[in-house]
Structures are given as C-alpha cells and as structure tokens.
C-alpha cells in the first residue's frame, strides 16, 4: 500500500495484465451501435406512422421531440449514477431499459403505447454514452485515447449514417414494426455478452443525492429542449407562448441548477470542469460543430428535394458517402491525434469547414449536383477531424474524479444543441423564404417558391459560416492537454510522449 508521502500513481486498466480490455470494449461498442442506430432508424417511418395511427405531423413528431426531451433529462443525472452503481450494473440496467422500450414499441397496439416505448428507449440511450466515455477514460491513458475515441466516433457516426437507408428498406419490405423487432436480438446479445465479460472499472462512492438539483435539472434541460423543439409546430415561431414560456423556464431552471452545484460539496454535475481551459475550449468547439452539422443534415435534404427536385431516396443516397466517410475517418483522425496532437488536425480542418460552409452559402437553383456531393463530403471529413480530437483533448485535461461530470456535460449538450440547432436554422430559413415571397411579384409561381427556398438555404449556410470563424480562431489557440491530477514525473513523461 502506498505511503501518503509517495507520489500518486496514475494507473490505467489497459496496463493491467489481469484485465481483458477487448471484451469490455466490445460489450460497450455493441450496445452503443444499436442504441445510436435507433436514434435515426425511425425518422423515415414518421409518414407511415401518421397513416397507420391516423395522427397529425405535430403528434408524430413527438417520436423525435420526446426522444430528445427524455435524453436531456436523464443525461445530467448520469454523473451521479456513475458514482452510485458499478459499470456492470449500470450498463446492464441501461441495456435492459433500452430493450424493454424496444419491445413495447415493436408490439404497440396504439400510438400512445408506441410513444411510451420510444421514451423508455430514450432513457436507456441517454445513459449509455456517458457510461462508455467514462469507462474508456478510465481504461486508457491520455496518449492512447485518440484512437479509442476515434473508434467510438466510427460507431456514433456510422450508425446514424446507415439508419435512414436501412430504415427505408425495412419499412418498404417488412413494415415499420420490424424497425424495432430487428433490434431486439442484437440488444439481447449485447446484454448477454456484457453479462459474461464486462467488469467494473469505476469507483462507487455513493455521493449524497440532492433532490433540489435533480428538480432544477429536469425543469431546466427538459423545458429548454421542449421549447426549442416546439418552434416548428407553431406558425408564430419563437413568439408562440408554447415556445418562449418553456425556453424562459428552462433558462431559469439551468441557472438555478448551476448556482446550486457551486454550493454543494458533492454536486450532481460538477461545473468546475469549466475551469480547465482545454475542456471549455472543447465544449465551445463541440457546440459549433453540432450547429454546423445540423445546418447541413436538416437544410440540405430540403434544398435537394425542393429546388433540385430530387426524390427522398436519391437525396438520402447523396448524403450517404459523406456520412460514411465521416465515421470511417474517425479512427484515423484518432490515430493522428495521438501522434501529433490536436493543432495539426484542427487548424486545417476548421479552415476546410469554413471554406465549405461559405461555398454552400453560394448554392443556387442551378448548382450542379456534384458540388453538393463534394461539399457534403468535405464538410463531414472536416467534422471528423475536429469533433472527436477536441472532445478527447478536453476530457484529457480533467482529473480522474471529474471524468463522470465531464462526460455528463458533453453528452447533455448533444440533445440541447440539437434542439436549438433545429429550431434556429429552420426558423431562419422560413423567415427568409417568407420575406422573399412578400417582395415577389408572383409568389405562387413554383420557380419563385424554389428561389425563395434557395434564399433561405443560402442565409442559413452563411450564418453557419460566420459561426465557423470562431472555430478557426479556437483551433489556433488549442494545445495538447495533460491531466491535472498527475504527479510531476508522470506529467513530464506524458509531455515527452506528446512531442
């Protein structure tokens, strides 16, 4: 046993010959793949569900809105759960919850029961990613995390990329219920595999549960996601009481939650992670990339199916190469991050990102299709060179006891950033379209309508380009982070590895 005067040893399970790391990784990755795949698997079936259950578009959109809402509520609590339960207990519990929700959805006789199943699925999915990030931070030392996080990035990006294509085939030939039925055996396999091979890698400290923090968190993150998600359901947009009341309530809830965390000895989500500059840098970069991705993943299909008059299937196939390359490049980007650090990746990648977004802001009704394909490929490759390296570098600077909180903050931002990105960009595009049509001499003419849509698309991409300039500036300020809880000798060794 170490004497208190001895320097602290920073040990990782990958160096322990008694621990089989590969089965642990496979257990987590298998579960993550199908949970993340499930996020986009249902998107193409919403029209089918409207006909099946005789419901309206605002009603069926709760399949997506409700999913994000539940994720926004459960993810902030993940830091607390990671300290209350073992890795094995939490992963198995999460996958069981996900499987129960999937089974309910598969055999739901009514839309209400289908929605309940979908929300249960969301609870499992929301808790899964914080578990995975936290485990990999504990298993691998900082100088080896880039490649591992790249593999996670491959899973996270590849699964949603093939989701719409896979969904279209399943819905057309088997029916929408098989979107859930086909996932069940893989989820059960993940549970069985993890039951046999997954061991606990985290320390169970069982911190005190602060009920008031949980209340503020639920109101804050839940209301703000609901408010931004409701923008598209109202003709008044942000002026609707169904939008601005929840957003205001959400902001108040988040402020109260944040103030409460600084007063607690054992916070539910420790916001001291933001005192580490590279972590704060990573969070800002992460939000910028999320916004840029939503500008393309939402607006570009609308542009292709509108002014370019492409069928939905063709539009989906055009986006597929960029999405697949984004995932496929992720492990390679992780390898480069381990070898060369974040600057070599992020500076050229942010310049390519900004240049691509500016090019997309010049789209017209006559833009050749190859420009759209190349533009989207460049966009997604640049995203793969920014997102995971930034996230890994930021988490690397945190001391070990803040890992659960760092991963919780990062994963909470995904549904929040997603909801904000969707509503803001769609609102901007719609407002520009309406303004164009108001000034048009013949607003009902199909060509005029297409030109109005193009004007909205151009404005969205120009705003995304303006936001990306911040990412370029941040890329020049980044440096390779070193964990703050290492003894001096280990820090020096890591710095040598980094050179």
Kindly state the average pLDDT of the residues 278-285.
90
**CA atoms of 20 and 199, how far apart (whole Å):** 9
When pLDDT is cut at 50, 70 and 90, the band that residue 480 belongs to is confident
Checking if the pLDDT of 75 tops 70, the result is yes
Integer CA distances (angstroms), 301 to 208, 305, 307, 313, in order: 47, 6, 10, 10
**CA atoms of 124 and 10, how far apart (whole Å):** 31
Kindly state the average pLDDT of the residues 128-141.
77
Checking if the pLDDT of 117 tops 50, the result is yes
pLDDT of residue 246: 85
pLDDT tens-place string over residues 15-43: 666 667 777 777 778 877 877 777 767 76
pTM for the complete prediction?
0.73
Q: How many helices (H) and strands (E) does the chain have?
A: 20, 0
When pLDDT is cut at 50, 70 and 90, the band that residue 11 belongs to is low
pLDDT above 90 covers a percentage of the chain that reads 9
When pLDDT is cut at 50, 70 and 90, the band that residue 295 belongs to is low
Checking if the pLDDT of 3 tops 50, the result is no
Q: Which of 65-69, 94-98, 255-259 has the weakest average pLDDT?
A: 65-69
Task: State the average pLDDT for the chain.
Answer: 79
Kindly state the average pLDDT of the residues 118-129.
85
Place of tokens 């602290």: 8
pLDDT of residue 409: 81
pLDDT tens-place string over residues 456-465: 888 888 988 9
Residue with the larger pLDDT of the pair 424 and 376: 376
Long-range contacts of the stretch 246-252 (C-beta < 8 A, 24+): 247/223, 249/219, 249/223, 250/219, 250/220, 250/221, 250/222, 250/223, 250/224, 250/225, 250/226, 251/220, 251/224, 252/220
pLDDT tens-place string over residues 234-262: 666 667 777 788 889 888 988 988 888 88
pLDDT of residue 59: 75
Homologous superfamily assigned to 16-206: MFS general substrate transporter like domains (1.20.1250.20)
pLDDT of residue 348: 94
Checking if the pLDDT of 280 tops 70, the result is yes
What residues does each domain of the chain span?
Answer: 16-206, 208-265, 269-499
Q: Which of 401-405, 412-416, 471-475 has the weakest average pLDDT?
A: 412-416
Winning range, highest mean pLDDT, from 55-64, 238-247, 268-277: 268-277
Task: Domain 269-499: give its CATH architecture.
Answer: Up-down Bundle (1.20)
Checking if the pLDDT of 193 tops 80, the result is yes
Winning range, highest mean pLDDT, from 56-65, 85-94, 428-437, 482-491: 85-94
Winning range, highest mean pLDDT, from 191-205, 281-295, 346-360: 346-360
Kindly state the average pLDDT of the residues 327-336.
81
Topology agreement, domain 16-206 and domain 269-499: yes
Residue 346 in contact with residue 475, Cβ under 8 Å?
yes
Integer CA distances (angstroms), 266 to 256, 271, 272, 395, in order: 16, 11, 12, 20
pLDDT of residue 469: 92
**CA atoms of 118 and 97, how far apart (whole Å):** 11
């Amino acid at each position: 046993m170490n004497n208190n005067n001895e320097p602290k040893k920073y040990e990782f399970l990958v160096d322990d010959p008694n621990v089989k790391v590969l089965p642990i990784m496979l257990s987590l990755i298998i579960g993550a793949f199908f949970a993340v795949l499930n996020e986009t698997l249902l998107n193409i079936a919403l029209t089918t569900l409207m006909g099946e259950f005789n419901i309206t578009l605002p009603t069926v959109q709760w399949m997506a809105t409700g999913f994000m809402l539940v994720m926004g509520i459960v993810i902030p609590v993940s830091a607390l759960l990671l300290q209350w339960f073992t890795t094995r207990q939490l992963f198995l519990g999460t996958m069981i919850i996900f499987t129960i929700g999937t089974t309910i959805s598969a055999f739901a006789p009514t839309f209400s029961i289908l929605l309940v199943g979908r929300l249960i699925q969301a609870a499992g999915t929301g808790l899964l990613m914080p578990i995975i990030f936290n485990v990999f931070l504990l298993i691998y030392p900082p100088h080896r995390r880039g490649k591992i996080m790249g593999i996670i990035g491959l899973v996270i990006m590849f699964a949603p990329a093939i989701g719409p294509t896979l969904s279209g085939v399943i819905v057309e030939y088997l029916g929408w219920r098989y979107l859930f039925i086909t996932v069940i055996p893989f989820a059960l396999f993940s549970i069985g595999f993890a039951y046999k091979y997954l061991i606990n890698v985290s320390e169970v400290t069982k911190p005190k549960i602060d009920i008031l923090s949980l209340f503020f968190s639920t109101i804050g993150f839940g209301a703000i996601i609901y408010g931004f998600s409701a923008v598209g359901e109202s003709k008044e947009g942000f002026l609707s009481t169904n939008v601005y009341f929840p957003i205001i309530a959400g902001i108040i809830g988040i402020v109260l939650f944040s103030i409460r965390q600084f007063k607690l000895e054992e916070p539910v989500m420790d916001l001291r992670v933001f005192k580490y500059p590279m972590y704060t840098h990573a969070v800002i970069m992460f939000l910028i990339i999320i916004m840029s991705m939503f500008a393309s993943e939402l607006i570009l299909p609308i542009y292709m199916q509108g002014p370019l008059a492409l069928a939905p299937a063709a539009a989906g196939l055009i986006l597929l190469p960029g999405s697949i390359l984004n995932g496929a490049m992720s492990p390679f980007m992780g390898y480069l991050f381990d070898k060369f650090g974040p600057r070599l990746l992020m500076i050229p990648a942010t310049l390519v990102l900004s240049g691509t977004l500016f090019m997309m802001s010049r789209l017209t009704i006559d833009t050749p299709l190859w420009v759209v394909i190349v533009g989207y490929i460049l966009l997604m490759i640049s995203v793969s060179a920014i997102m995971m390296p930034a996230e890994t570098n930021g988490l690397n600077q945190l001391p070990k006891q803040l890992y659960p909180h760092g991963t919780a903050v990062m994963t909470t931002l995904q549904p929040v950033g997603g909801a904000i990105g969707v509503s803001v960009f769609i609102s901007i595009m719609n407002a520009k379209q309406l303004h164009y049509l108001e000034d048009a001499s013949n607003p009902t003419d199909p060509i005029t309508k297409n030109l109005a849509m193009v004007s909205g698309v151009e404005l969205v991409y120009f705003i995304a380009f303006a936001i990306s300039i911040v990412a370029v500036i941040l890329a020049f300020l980044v440096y390779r982070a070193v964990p703050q809880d290492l003894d001096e000798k280990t820090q020096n060794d890591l710095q040598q590895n980094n050179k």
